[in-house]
Every structure is written in structure tokens, then in C-alpha cells.
Chain A
Amino acid sequence: MKFTTITRWEFKETLKSKKFLIIFCLQLSMLFLMIFVFNAFAANIQSDNGVSLTPSLSGFASLDIDDQGHLFTKYINPSLINIQSSNYNTALQNLNNGEITGFVQVPADSLNSIKNIDTINVKLYLDYSDPKRSVISDEVNSTTNILATSISNSWIDSLIPQNTTQIVVNQQSTGQSLQIQLLTNAMLAILLFLPLFFFGNLIIDSVVGEKEKKTGEILMAMPISPSQIILGKILAVEAIIALQIVLWMIILITMGFKFANPILIYILVTITALPIIGVTTIISAYSKNYKEAGIGITLSYIAVVGVLIIPALTYLSVKPLAANISPMTMVMRILSGETIPFWQYFIPIAFILLVSIITYWISIKLFERDDIFFGPRPGLIRLFLELISFKKIKKIR
């Protein structure tokens, strides 16, 4: 269990390092800056001169409407929601079949009700298994508000002083507008996963630094196996990331962001660091120097970001089960308040563990080779063939 000695010392010395503290403070500054920019952007959207954030979200969610008086339909934003006229029975069947996310029923005599200064009861039916339901809900609420304001304004203009009866529009709830909610969830998920990509330099310093500073030779002479050395270093970085994410989440909560299940989100984000550290360690173990490792990590992180984000965005639109492979999908689902079946949590966790095991196995195999550490370094093709052949590679230390 000597890897714990390496973990403890690496963790302690990293936290004491001025270089780390500077990087850490810069990261926090960046977080504050991003929150500031986000808030400014959101305020701009909410203003009358707001910009459309979602030009590509046409038909994002489907909504059936039973609105014979066409009172409500014209106020729904058609660039976001695919609206179709329907009746109660058909709409409920569509809801059951998962073809639509929601159904709005506006009373047929709504125009008369307005004229008679009477209440209009608008009913909204939602598919609660669909994460897009909050989008529909918010849009309907927003439309109801617009409608109520519009009717009230016309009344105010025409009212005789003694006739002050007001129309009442029932609302389920009021929340952020669709754009803001989408942006908030996406922004939150990105902000939560962001720290995972800040620690590549720590791993490079920990692994490549042993080569560049030539301290690796004395570490190799210690009575500890290469697998324990790698494990010790990886756990130290994981511990630092876990600490960073805690601080990150505290700051976000303090700044007004809301998390449905913060502990679950924390666990998911923290374990997502494991395969990312694994990939970074492979590159660091193979690289000769900081420069080479830096290039390798930049390229690999582009792929890692793709693996995280693409399934999450895919889930928002078509909900394939496979999209849950990305822990970011799961976090976005949790953030949207969706009820997630317990077994579905195993999909991203299994993926994370599988990738972690593979990447750590490769890292250890590379670290065991003296030709990589002391040269001449073998080519990637030769290494790959040796790794996939599973033949016993000469253990070096």
C-alpha cells in the first residue's frame, strides 16, 4: 500500500506549491468571469431587445393544442415548439405513445369568456418522463403571461371606471423563459465538468516531470512497483480535482445556481475525472517532455469533450438510451429534475469504470518499460501491436 505514501505527499506538496495556487486562483477567476458573462447574456435575452439563442432548436419539442378559438396558439413560439392542433382524446393518446411532450386545452368559449370578463381555465398535460417537459411548461407559462398582459392592457384602455372586474388566467407556475432554462442547464453542466480539464498540467508535472527533471531514476530505485507509483500519482490528482469540484459547486450555489441533487451530481462529476486522468497519464507516460505531452493532451481533450457533450445534446433532442453513456447526459437529466430509473445510473458509471481500467492498464504498461523512460523510445505502432497482442512485455522494474 505504498502508493498511499505517494498520494499523500503529492497531494500535500501540490497544495503547498505556489504554481498550483496561482493556477487555482486563475481558475476561480475564470469561473466568476463566466458567471458574470452568463448573467449579462441572460439579462440581454430577457430584455425587449433580446436575441434569439436557439435558432437551431426548431421543432425541439412537440405540443398538441386544442384551441378552437385560436386565442392561445398564435402566442406560442413556433420556432421552438412543434405545434399541432388536436383534440383531447387524440392528444392523450399521443402523450401515451411518447409522440408529444405536452397538450394544452383551451376552452372553446374562451373568446366569450373574455368578452364577459370571465375566468379562462387553460389546462396543460405533460409527459413527466420526458426531460423536455420543463421546456413546454415554461413556454406555456410564458405564453399565458403574455396573453394575460395583452388582455389586461386592452381592458385598461377600454374600461369604464366603475367596471373593474379583472380576468383571471390560471397558471401552473412561473419560471425562467425557455431560452434561459436551456442555457442554465447547459451552462451548469459545462461549468461542473470544466475543472476536469484544468488538471492536465498536474499530471504532466507529476509524470513527465519525473523524466524532464530526472527525478524518476531515484523513484524507480524505490521498493515500489510502477503500478503503485502510477496509482499513487493518479489518486493525488483525483483528490485535488475532488476538492476543486466541491469549491466550484459551493461557488455556483452561492451565486444562485440551483442543483436538484448536489451530492449525486458531485459523485458523477468526480468519478468522470478518473478516465480523463487515465487518458492524460497514458500521454504523459509516453511523452518525452512537457511540450510533447501538452500537444497530446490538447488533442485528446478535444475528443474527450466530444464524448461528454455530443451524447448530452443528442439526449435533449431524441432521447436515445445510449446517450446516457456520457455522465454529462446524466447530470443534465438530474439538473432538469427528471425522475431517472435507478438502473440507468449504471450506464455512465460502467462506461467510466471500463475506460478507467483500460487507460490505467495502458499507463502502467507504458510506465513499466525502460525504453520509454530511458530511450530509445519505441514507435506508437510497435507499442500498439505489443499491447493488443497481450504478450508479456518485459517488465522493467
Chain B
Amino acid sequence: MYSNDFIIKIDSLNKSFGKIKALDNLNLEIKRGELLGIIGPNGAGKTTAIRITSCILQPDSGNVLVDDMSIHRDQIKIKSMIGYLPEEPNLYERFKARDLLRYFAELYGVPKNRIDDRINELLKLVNMSNRADDRINTFSKGLRQRIGIARALIHDPKIIIFDEPTMGLDPATAHNIREFIRGLKGEKTIILCTHYMDEADSLCDRVAILNQGKIIDMGTPEYLKSKIHGDIILELKVENPNNIDANLIKDFDSVEDVYIKGKLFIISLKSKNDIKSIINVFNNDILSVNTKEPTLEDVFIHTIK
């Protein structure tokens, strides 16, 4: 029996594009009102998974249940429940912002007597009221993204899917959009696909790490960070990483893991006891030293390496 706690249940989903397997037996459950982050490297299958959930793509096998409805049977009903913001905010260039929202409101079947109020409400929400009668082709990417968000919310959906909503935006606009998403938290069920670990860390209730079409780890950001084992991350940037024997570092008792990323050595430590000795291993080759607590990025790098 399908649990009522979960609004979306992805079950054994497979999808290939030619010889490339985008999703490999993907399973995922999303609770009502949850903000779930999906992180993963390029080509991990994030966009494919959300396109299938939005009934834009058909899986090769498997199923997705959205509020107990199957993507194989109830596509129109499922689409009515979802507000989808694709990675690229491609909108009809020749439309004015207000007309674009009206067009999609009509397609979503928003009652005609509510359309104007809903458009004004959303334009205000995304702070675009003053540009309502301007054409889309006069907007910057940030403004387009805001109109894109308003478009995705025009029918007041239960579920919102954001695919890289802050990609390519300047820090201030990205911050505004994050705050906007934070404001929706709890009110709507949200799936957020992102490359930005701090975004997922700060916004999401749970984070799923997707790689090669599979969920390789999932949990709250805190839980995932705790799985890095160490309490401290020591980062050393060296001149010539090939001169360093990583095994010498691993021999220290407090060292739990060593990961090399270019010239950067990322070392997970249980305690600070051996930091001085570890630094000595690098002799005079060190360019910089930094200690920090584990972040989701560390988890991501650690998990997919």
C-alpha cells in the first residue's frame, strides 16, 4: 500500500538515451511538504529524473507515483499538480511578461476570474510588477528566471520542481531566488536540483546524491556531513602534489580519509592532534593551509570519487 506520507514515489526507474544509461533502477521517495535537494555531477541523471516525474519524458521501465497517480495513466492530472522550472528559463521572447503568465494560466486551467489577481500577486512576489508590460526579450537572465518562477507557480501547484534555478545568476539575484524558495518551504513539496552545495545545504530538508543514474546516498545535510567521519577537514594546497606520498598521511591515527583534488589535499581528521605532524610531511611544498568543518561539498566529493 502506498504510504500517504509520500507525495512522490519513484520506483525502479530506468531510462537510456541510445547507449547512454541516464537512470539505473532509480528509487526515491519524497514526503509531503518536503524540500528535497538532488545533487550530482553533470550527466548524473538529475534532469532526466525530474523530467520523467513531470511527465515530459517516458521511462524505459519503472514508475513514478505522484499523489497516488501513475505517470503512465494520469499524465494530465499529474502535470496539473506540478510547477516545473527548467534549467534554462526559455520563455516566448515576443510575449510581454503579463501575457506570458496569462497564456500559461489559461493552459493550466486557472479560472478566468482569478487570472488577473493571480498574475498581479505573483509579479509582486517575484518583484516584477514594474516590468509586467515589457517584452521577455528585454529581460536579463535573472529577470527571466523570476518570470519563469512566476510561470511555474501560476496555477498554485502542490509540487514545484526547480532545475538549477540559480545557475548563471549573479550572487544577489541568486540570493533573492534562494530566499524566495525558502519562503515556499513547508507550504509546497519542492524538488531542487542544484550544483551549488551551499544552496542545497542551506535550503533542503533532505539531499539525495545522484551519480550515474543511481541514488548513492541520501539524508539530511547534517546526516550526510556526519558521514564524512572526521570532525575537522584539513586542506593543504601544495606546489607539487606528485612529490607527496599520500600513504604517509594515512598512517597518522587521527586521519580518516585523504582526497586529492589537483594541488589540494583534503584530509578528514578525528582530532587536531596530528595536524602539525601532517604539515611536516609536506615539508616546504605547502602554498596554503586551511582547517574547516565538513560541508556538503566535502560529502559530495567524498561520495562520488
Residues of A within 8 A of B (CB): 2, 5-6, 9, 13, 16-17, 213-215, 217-218, 220-225, 370-371, 374-376, 394-397
Contact = CB atoms under 8 A, between A and B. Distances in A.
Nearest first, the 3 A-B pairs at minimum CB distance are: A223-B79, A214-B90, A223-B80
A218 B108 CA distance: 12
Interface string B64-101: 00000000000111011010101010111111000000
A223 B77 contact: yes
A24 to B, nearest CB: 16
A221 B90 contact: no
A21 to B, nearest CB: 12
Contacts of A13: 92, 94-95
A218 B93 contact: no
A371 B103 CA distance: 27
Nearest to A2: B107
Contact of B92 (A215, A222, A371, A376): A215
A205 to B, nearest CB: 10
B8 to A, nearest CB: 15
Interface of B: 17-18, 51, 54-58, 75-77, 79-80, 82, 84, 86, 88, 90-95, 103-104, 106-109, 151
Contacts of B86: 214, 217-218, 221
Contacts of B104: 218, 222
Given A9-B103, A213-B90, A214-B88, A220 B56 contact: yes
B46 to A, nearest CB: 15
Given A5-B103, A218-B84, A221-B82, 15 more contacts: A2-B106, A6-B107, A13-B92, A17-B94, A213-B93, A214-B86, A217-B56, A221-B54, A222-B107, A223-B79, A223-B107, A223-B109, A224-B107, A376-B17, A397-B58
A218 B147 CA distance: 13
B91 to A, nearest CB: 7
Contacts of A214: 86, 88, 90
Contact of A2 (B57, B75, B94, B109): B109
Contact of A376 (B18, B57, B95, B108): B18
A376 B90 CA distance: 21
A15 to B, nearest CB: 12
Given A5-B106, A9-B103, A223 B76 contact: yes
Nearest to A368: B58
A371 B76 CA distance: 20
A221 B56 contact: yes
B108 A370 contact: no
Nearest to B18: A376
A363 to B, nearest CB: 18
Given A5-B107, A397-B75, A215 B91 contact: yes
23 contacts: A2-B109, A5-B106, A13-B94, A13-B95, A213-B90, A214-B90, A215-B90, A215-B91, A218-B84, A221-B54, A221-B79, A222-B107, A223-B76, A223-B77, A223-B107, A223-B109, A224-B107, A225-B76, A371-B17, A374-B17, A374-B51, A396-B56, A396-B58
A93 B251 CA distance: 118
A370 B60 CA distance: 11
A115 B58 CA distance: 93
Nearest to B60: A394
Contacts of A6: 107
Nearest to A374: B57
B57 A396 contact: yes
B57 A218 contact: no
A13 B99 CA distance: 10
A394 B58 contact: yes
- Residue of A214, A215, A221, A374 with most chain B CB atoms under a 10 A cut-off: A221
Contacts of A213: 90, 92-93
A224 B75 CA distance: 9
